[in-house]
Amino acid sequence: MESVDNMKQPIRLAALLLFVLTSLLFSTSPTHSQRAPNVEQRVNELLARMTLEEKLGQLQQLDGEGNGNFRPEHLDMIRKGLLGSTLGVRGAARTNQVQRVAMNESRLKIPVLFGFDVIHGYRTIFPIPLGEASSFDPTLAERSAAVAAQEANNVGLRWTFAPMVDIARDPRWGRITEGAGEDPFLGAAFARARVRGFQGDDYGAADKILACAKHWVAYGNAEGGRDYNTTDLSENTLREIYFPPFKAAVDAGVGTLMSSFNAINGVPATANAFTLTKVLRQEWKFDGFVVSDYTAVKELINHGVAGNEEQAAALALNAGVEMEMVSRSYNQFGPQLLKQNKITQATIDEAVRRILRIKFRLGLFDHPYTDEAREPNALLRPESIRLAREIAGRSMVLLKNERETLPLNKNIGSIAVIGPLADDRRVPLGWWSGDGKEENTVTPLAGIKAKVSPQTTVLYAKGCEVKDDSTAGFEQAVNIAKQADVAVVFVGETHDMTGEAASRSTLDLPGRQMELVQAIHATGKPTIVVLVNGRPLSVGWIVNNAPAILESWFGGSESGNAIADILFGDVNPGAKLPVTFPRTVGQVPIYYNHMNTGRPPEAENRYTSKYYDAPWTPLYPFGYGLSYTTFKISNLQLSAPRINASGKITVNVDVENTGRRAGDEVVQLYIRDLVATMTRPVKELKGFQRISLQPGEKKKVEFVLGPEHLGFWNREMRYVVEPGEFRVMVGSNSVDVIEAKFDVAPN
């Protein structure tokens, strides 16, 4: 025995040595924790050795050349200590090449921080964030962000410009696709989950990256839904609607924020001391750093608050923007601003301190490189692809299903797959698709072919394009519909009609797509419509005429498989809309949690708050979505008829699966403060739970409401829970609810 053990000893020692060496060489060990005790000391020691130029260099971020390449000038700047971070430079070998310059050739050996927009996946692409929010299951967002972080980390990235947590009440705004929709409570839950997914407990750990909550703040309120546009809104609305997802991200430990492009009540967000310093630093105690949006510092000139770049630099830095993305005003004008006392040494030092603090917490100084050997096996892992399919299936919303048109039978004789988005590989990846590749995308046509029985005939015709005006393909599409038992038509938007700089002035289906659907429907064949899009669309004709509609969003790499899973009943849809669908763009902004008016709409009374030429109700309300089974929500019980302002109340309901299939229901809880010193929303989401039930199964669902749910920001800008009556509503969407009331007692 002894001799065998002795023989093992050298092997153990060698293994131990190898482990220690790998841990030292590569940033894969969780030992370089953000909780490392001596971060502040190391920051201060380093800061004391830095020249003014080196300090300003840390505040600079520049973008790469595209395709992951750095620019030749980057290396020289890094060598001189004049560049702290890059945007878009990626690939383990490339980032290592750049990092070697920082670590071997620069005076202070401060590592470069490599950032990129990893929004809903890096190579494995998940549904767009608006789609993922439809799952009403934040744990899914946490899991997809974790995969995105793992892939990104292995290609040398350490920082993502995500999550985008802007509340969006205006579907004309293309960036609605990037967030969690219109509701601050849902938005906060998804913000928290995504930060956790990217960063874990320690963003310096293996397979994790630093997150960036953006765009701080109110970017989603852009006037007219026009991107980059100004905003004008009360502090109450800021605090109650636009801040909560950011607060949730900060509370979840997000390391960075990005300042937004828009002005807020006359002060651009990138020069806004109220939001950047008072709220973020003083009230919320945020100790990370803020990066400007792309050239937003220089854009202060166009906003008209700075006469030149020098003034722009002073405004942004003094307000609390530490890192400047792409424009170079800090670097160029920092020294003279300091000389003229327009910025102070303390302000520069504090900015550098915050950036270095994050670099130390990331473990970059101790583990600056990426293990190049790991990169090939890090992407598109089978379990990542499986997860992408699962999440896509749980994110798609069944909007209509008359007479159980869906699910289809896999043994169906023939199926006509029609539409410009039926076999498109690019569109399902959505805007900001990381390094997602078309060749890794499953289209709906491929997903359907893989799903049906060998005897089923699958016919395909494109019919038309999304964007152009030709109807030349209609005839073929109509012909195959006539030959088939059922037609499934894929219509919507292309990926580049959403996202940045993609505001639309109409929410109609672009091009001739609506006519295509009408032509197919006119054949008399059951016409199922699958929407492929990144924002709410006004598709009233389809809602009134098609027997079944599935909202598939831009579902990511596995979109086509997930759609087939739902169409053929392997997955029972359970997602709900995280945003209101208007009937017409003229109703925008339309959102469920609006204030009441003195004249709430009444059908028979002209002089009430409504439209002359359109209904006031939406096409689909917030929280709406169907399942292949049915649910009954009943027996709403409150734990007490009255509570104190600081007290809690428990709300219970019974939820029963009354149909024939297992399925998920998202039980939603809303409140209304009936009489207050300020007008209050007619409904506010304050709880949701997605639960699974077998046919006939019944479960109790419990919610707890406390002061954090019942209060609001009053006229003195204090958060208060006011005494009086509250209505509690629980239901399967924001309209179909059962209700009860309770009182908050006077103090």
Work out how close the CB of 85 gets to ligand BGC at its nearest, in angstroms, rounded to a whole number: 12
Q: Measuring CA to CA, which residue among 13, 161, 197, 9 is closest to residue 88?
A: 161
Pattern 441-480, ligand BGC, x by CB under 6 A: ----------------------------------------
Give burial (CB, 10 Å; 0-12/13-18/19+) of 720: middle
Nearest CB to ligand BGC, comparing residues 61 and 538 = 61
- Of 214 and 521, CB closest to ligand BGC: 214
117 lines the binding site for ligand BGC (CB under 6 A) = yes
- Does 118 bind ligand BGC (CB under 6 A)? Our answer is no
Q: Is 251 a catalytic residue?
A: no
Nearest 5°: CA angle at 722, between 716 and 727? 130
* Number of C-beta neighbours around residue 281 at 10 A: 16
Rg (CA), the chain: 27
Q: According to CB under 6 A, which residues from 164 to 223 bind ligand BGC?
A: 214
CA 260 – CA 276 distance, rounded (Å) = 11
DSSP secondary structure, 679-711, as one string? --BS-EEEEEEEEEE-TT-EEEEEEEE-HHHH-
Q: Contact letters (x/-) for ligand BGC, 87-116, by CB under 6 A?
A: x-----------------------------
Q: Cβ closer to ligand BGC: 197 or 618?
A: 197
By beta-carbon proximity to ligand BGC, the closer residue of 214 and 354 is 214
Cα–Cα distance between 529 and 539 in angstroms, integer?
A: 11
Of residues 183, 293, 424, 435, which has the active-site annotation? 293
In whole angstroms, what is the distance from residue 312 CA to residue 738 CA?
A: 54
CB-based closest residue to ligand BGC:
161
User: Does 592 contact ligand BGC by CB under 6 A?
Assistant: no
Picking from 146, 198, 156, the residue whose alpha carbon sits closest to that of residue 68 is 156
Q: Cβ of residue 279: shortest distance to ligand BGC, in angstroms? A: 20
Residue 679 CB, nearest approach to ligand BGC (Å): 33
- Compute CA distances 374 → 26, 35, 196, 434, whole Å: 11, 26, 23, 19
Query: Which of 366, 438, 500, 570 is the binder for ligand BGC (CB under 6 A)?
Result: 500
Least spacing, CB of residue 212 vs ligand BGC, in Å = 8
Q: Which residue has the tokens 């000391």?
A: 41
Q: Which is nearer to ligand BGC, 174 or 731 (CB)?
A: 174
Per rule CB under 6 A, is residue 294 in the interface with ligand BGC? yes
Q: Which residue in the set 54, 151, 240, 293 belongs to the binding site for ligand BGC (CB under 6 A)?
A: 293
The answer to whether 468 and 572 are in contact (CB under 8 A) is no
Nearer to ligand BGC, 366 or 500 (CB): 500
Residue 227 touches ligand BGC, criterion: CB under 6 A: no
Task: Identify which of residues 431 and 688 has a Cβ nearer to ligand BGC in the complex.
Answer: 431
Q: Which of 122, 136, 161, 554 binds ligand BGC (CB under 6 A)?
A: 161
Closest of 420, 688, 438 to residue 575, by C-alpha: 688
Smallest distance, ligand BGC to C-beta of residue 289, A: 15
Query: Which residues face 267 on adjacent strands?
Result: 264
Min dist CB 307 to ligand BGC, Å, is 24
* β-pairing verdict for 698-705 and 649-657: antiparallel
Straight-line distance from the first to the last Cα atom of the chain, in angstroms, rounded to the nearest whole number? 77
CB 87 → ligand BGC: shortest distance, Å?
Answer: 6
Cα dihedral 637/638/639/645 (nearest 10): 170
How near is the Cβ of 284 to ligand BGC at its closest, in Å?
21
For 715, counting Cβ atoms within 10 Å of its Cβ (0-12 exposed, 13-18 middle, 19+ buried), the class is: exposed
Q: Tell me the number of residues near ligand BGC by CB under 6 A.
A: 7
Q: Which is nearer to ligand BGC, 160 or 527 (CB)?
A: 160
φ and ψ at 668, to 5 degrees? -120, 135
**Residues of the shown chain interacting with ligand BGC in the complex, contacts defined by CB under 6 A:** 87, 117, 161, 214, 293-294, 500
| Catalytic residue list | 293
